[in-house]
Amino acid sequence: MTLKLTNVTKRFGSATAVDNLSLEIPEKQIFGFLGANGAGKTTTFRMILGLMDLTEGSISWNDDSINYSKSHLIGYLPEERGLYPKLTVKDQLVYLGRLRGMQKNDIISEMDAWLEKFHVPEYRDKKVEELSKGNQQKIQFISAVIHKPKLLILDEPFSGLDPVNVEQLKKAVVELKEAGTSIVFSSHRMEHVEELCEHLCILHHGTPVVHGGLKEVKRSFGKKNVVVRAD
C-alpha cells in the first residue's frame, strides 16, 4: 500500500508549517523524516493520520483517501506520550486494544509476546508510573502495534531514550518491517535514519529539501546547507 503525498501544504495563519510536499512512501519499508525542531514532521504525520486538515494538496493510501474507516490499519506513536500513569500495563493495553476493536484474549496474548520480546514480562501487573521513561516508551510502542497495523507511524520514537532502549526499539521496528509492516518515522538524528531506512525525506522549515533513496539523499545532503540538530 503506497502512501502518496501530492503538493501537501499546511499553513497556520500566515505561517507555513509544511510547504508543497510531494512524495511516495513505498510499502513494507521503513521511511524516515529527518529534520530539526519545527521542521514540520509532526504536522505531516497528523495530516497523514487524518487528524489535521490539509490547507492544500492531497494524501492517498493505496489510491484511496485516508479516513477513519482505515484507522484500524494504522498504528501511531505520538511524540507526546499518552499513557495513564495509574493503570497497570495490562489494563492500559487492554483498554487501548479494546478501542481498536480487539478481543481481550487477543490483546493479552499479543501483549505477553511483546513484553517477552522486550525482556520485561514482569511489567504486566506494574503501574505505568512505576516504570522508567524508556520502559514507558516500550509500552507506548506496544500500544501502537498491538492491533498489527499495516502502516505504523512513529513520531521521534527514540528521543530521550538510553542506547539500550534505542537498540531494543530499533530491533522491534526492523522485525515489524520484515513481517510486512510499512513504517514511517521521524528523527533529528541522521544515524537513526541511516541505519533503518531505505528511503527518507529531509524537511527544513516545512520545505522538503531532498527525498529519495538513502544513497542518493546522502549524496545531495552533503551538498546542501541544512542543519539537523542532534537531540
* Residue ranges in contact with ligand ATP by CB under 6 A: 12, 15, 17, 35, 37-43, 79
Q: How far is the CB of 146 from ligand ATP (least distance, A)?
A: 25
Q: Which of 231, 184, 182, 190 is nearest to 214 (CA)?
A: 190
Q: How far is the CB of 122 from ligand ATP (least distance, A)?
A: 33
Query: Cell numbers at residue 142, please?
Result: 506496544
Instruction: Specify the residue, 114 or 185, whose C-beta has the smaller distance to ligand ATP.
Output: 185
Specify whether the CB–CB gap between 214 and 200 falls below 8 A.
yes
Instruction: Specify the residue, 131 or 201, whose C-beta has the smaller distance to ligand ATP.
Output: 201
Strand pairing report for 15-25 and 207-213: unpaired
Instruction: Specify the residue, 102 or 209, whose C-beta has the smaller distance to ligand ATP.
Output: 209
What gap in Å lies between CA 206 and CA 210, rounded to an integer? 12
Q: How far is the CB of 220 from ligand ATP (least distance, A)?
A: 20
> In the beta sheet, which residues pair with residue 185?
32, 154
Q: How far is the CB of 123 from ligand ATP (least distance, A)?
A: 28
Query: Who's near 77: CB < 8 A, 6+ residues apart?
Result: 140, 141, 144, 152, 153, 154, 155, 157
Instruction: Specify the residue, 42 or 92, whose C-beta has the smaller distance to ligand ATP.
Output: 42
- CA torsion through residues 129, 133, 139, 143, sign: positive
Query: Cell numbers at residue 201, please?
Result: 525525506
74 C-beta neighbours (distance < 10 Å), count: 20
Q: How far is the CB of 94 from ligand ATP (least distance, A)?
A: 30
Instruction: Specify the residue, 35 or 208, whose C-beta has the smaller distance to ligand ATP.
Output: 35
Q: How far is the CB of 50 from ligand ATP (least distance, A)?
A: 16
Instruction: Specify the residue, 66 or 146, whose C-beta has the smaller distance to ligand ATP.
Output: 66
- Strands (DSSP E) along 40-113, which ranges? 56-61, 64-65, 74-77
